[in-house]
Each structure stands twice: as structure tokens, then as C-alpha cells.
Amino acid sequence: MSVGIAGIRKKEFGWSLQVSDGSYVGVCEFVPPEARSAFFKIAEYHPEKITANSTYVSTHYF
């Protein structure tokens, strides 16, 4: 089973996680700063939906 990052929580950092069928599986809150920076660079080019609290990314590219 693969788990992917589906979104970024803005106020309190967290990555929203989902499995390949699109089901939500949790939040990853403890991420090294280098990994956060690397993913933000990717996510800013592939946003699917942006809300006041989260940015959801298109998982079709990952």
C-alpha cells in the first residue's frame, strides 16, 4: 500500500495523507525542514484546491 501527501495544513503545519484509493489516513506533523522546503517547491506548481486552512495538491504528478 502506498501513502501520498494530499495536502498541506497552513496554520499548524501538517501533511494530509491518503492512500492510493483516495482515502484519508492521517496527518504527518513531524517533518524535517529540508523535506518541507522540497515539497513546498513541488506543491506550489500543482495546487488542486486552496482554502484558508489548507492547500491540496494534485496527486496525479507524484
pLDDT of 29: 93
Give the mean pLDDT of 29-43.
Answer: 87
Position 61 pLDDT exceeds 50: no
Report the alpha-carbon distance of residue 24 to residue 5 in Å, rounded. 10
Say what percent of the chain tops pLDDT 90: 18
| Residue, of 13 and 54, whose pLDDT is higher | 13
| Residue, of 53 and 27, whose pLDDT is higher | 27
Kindly list the distances between the CA atom of residue 50 and the CA atoms of 2, 14, 43, 55, 61, in Å, as whole numbers in the listed order.
Answer: 24, 15, 11, 4, 17
pLDDT grade for 25, boundaries at 50, 70 and 90: very high
Q: Which alpha helices (DSSP H) does the chain contain, by range?
A: 33-43
CA within 13 Å, CB half, 38: 6
Count other Cβ atoms within 10 Å, centred on residue 8.
21
pLDDT of 26: 93
